[in-house]
Amino acid sequence: MQRRLAVILGLAFCMGTAATRFGGDEPTQAGRKVKNQFLQILYTRDILGNAELCGCSPEQKGGLPRMATVFHERQKPNLATLKVDCGNFLPKSDDPWADIHGPQTIRGYQALGYDAINVGSVEAGYSVAELRKLRDSGLPLVSANIGDAAGRLLFSPWRVITKGDFKIACIGLSAKGPAGEGVQLLPTEEALKRLQPLLAKEKPDLVCILGDFTVNEAVAVARNSREAHVILSAKDLKFAPSTNAFIAPASGQYGSLIGRADLRRNGPTFEFEAELLPLTHAIAADAAVLKLVKEVGETARRTITLSPHRLGALDDFANSLACKTCHAREYEIWEASRHSHAFDILKEREATTRIDCVACHVTGYRKRDAGYFAEHVGCESCHGPGRKHIELMTTGKGAGAPLRAGKESCQKCHSELNSPIFTFEYYWSKIQH
């Protein structure tokens, strides 16, 4: 599905230390020997449009306002800091709320002041026209292998950035597909070969490759780029692979974690350490970024063109009370659950106009016009419209289908993002009927 991007312009997982030797000569700068240089790299990945937390659960992690706080606290006047994103910062192109969360993320990223942002496989799923709009957003985007149908690169393949005594080349790569309309992914090996003469001419102190890699993909990139010093990042990395480059672990899904890689240069040797910092409720939200993403979200919600898709005709619904006649025990269990007053949470938080939240707090939601059959999460939210079923069971006429529900019914709303500690077996035991 094509989307329009309305661009509205502790607990740490330590990877230990990996030391790798590059070259044979001790580096010099301004005619003097350079020793004991430090660089901090703060990196993110797989934000997937999670700019603003909905607040459904206190266990939710992530959010750009918390990220801004960590960025601010970790930056020190005497410590060179590079801020990068490894890709997949936008919501997926078929996300029903991409037109809201996309602009929120773009504006939030502009405020966070990234030095380089890789265009990942999620972004590659947008159309070439949408990617050209994204290119004009002012974000420091890089991609050495995302091109149009003719193979022309849509973004700058790299950025050269100076931080302290380091001259850093940040290269963007995406190792996966599928690509959107008019977009193609060039092989990573080919993209790296194209950059070799440019790197030889530029002579950066540090070559940093940004990508949304698996471990095997990151190892392959390291082998195809002898110039690389650090690769950010590899998903499900359990130990540091033996390669010519340091491979850092991926930060968490939906921005639940920020990665930090510390670099120490002593003569010709680089030493790295990496850790993952959780973005929990213990981290205060940056007030300015929180205000920004809320304002952008509200603007997008007012101007969004809703899809003609609809869950079902509202006259197909009955109501939970109608189920009580035959299912009295089940009705009592539902009435005592939080589902029976789910919409009240939105009222308490003054969020009844947040159409990207309403869908999980009502029965019979229609995306076509943001309408719904009834407030609260009733029987038909999980079992589907019940009018025809009731007609069949009471009169013997009609075409009512079995109204069964299961794990998938719950996970439509109780996703990893909205309910990070949700397990079907545990919560089903509370409402089993």
SS3 labels along the chain: CCCCCCCCCCCCCCCCEEEEECCCCCCEECCEECCCEEEEEEEECCCCCCCCCCCCCCCCCCCHHHHHHHHHHHCCCCCEEEEEECCCCCCCCCCCCHHHHHHHHHHHHHHHCCCEEECCHHHHCCCHHHHHHHHCCCCCEECCCEEECCCCECCCCEEEEEECCEEEEEEEECCCCCCCCCEEECCHHHHHHHHHHHHHHHCCCEEEEEEEEEHHHHHHHHHHCCCCCEEEEEECCCCCCCCCCEEEECCCHHHCEEEEEEEEEECCEEEEEEEEEECCCCCCCCHHHHHHHHHHHHHHHHHCCCCCCCCCCHHHCCCHHHHHCCCHHHHHHHHCCHHHHHHHHHHHCCCCCCHHHHCCCEECCECCCCECCEECCCHHHHHCCCHHHHHHHHHCCCCCCCCCCCHHHHHCCCCCCCCCCCCHHHHHHHHCC
Predicted structure pTM score: 0.81
Q: What is the pLDDT of residues 339-381, one digit of tens each?
A: 988 888 888 877 777 777 888 888 888 766 667 888 889 888 8
Q: What is the rounded average pLDDT of the residues 84-105?
A: 92
Q: Is the domain defined by 17-295 classed in CATH 3.60.21.10?
A: yes
Confidence band of 275 (pLDDT split at 50, 70, 90):
very high
Domain with CATH 3.60.21.10 in the chain: 17-295
Give the lowest-confidence range in 107-111, 128-132, 296-300: 296-300
Give the lowest-confidence range in 2-11, 91-100, 108-117, 179-188: 2-11
pLDDT recorded at residue 369: 66
Residue 105 has pLDDT above 60, yes or no: yes
More confident residue, 9 or 180: 180
Q: Which of 130-134, 254-258, 373-377 has the highest mean pLDDT?
A: 130-134
pLDDT recorded at residue 187: 93
More confident residue, 2 or 158: 158
Residue 399 has pLDDT above 80, yes or no: no
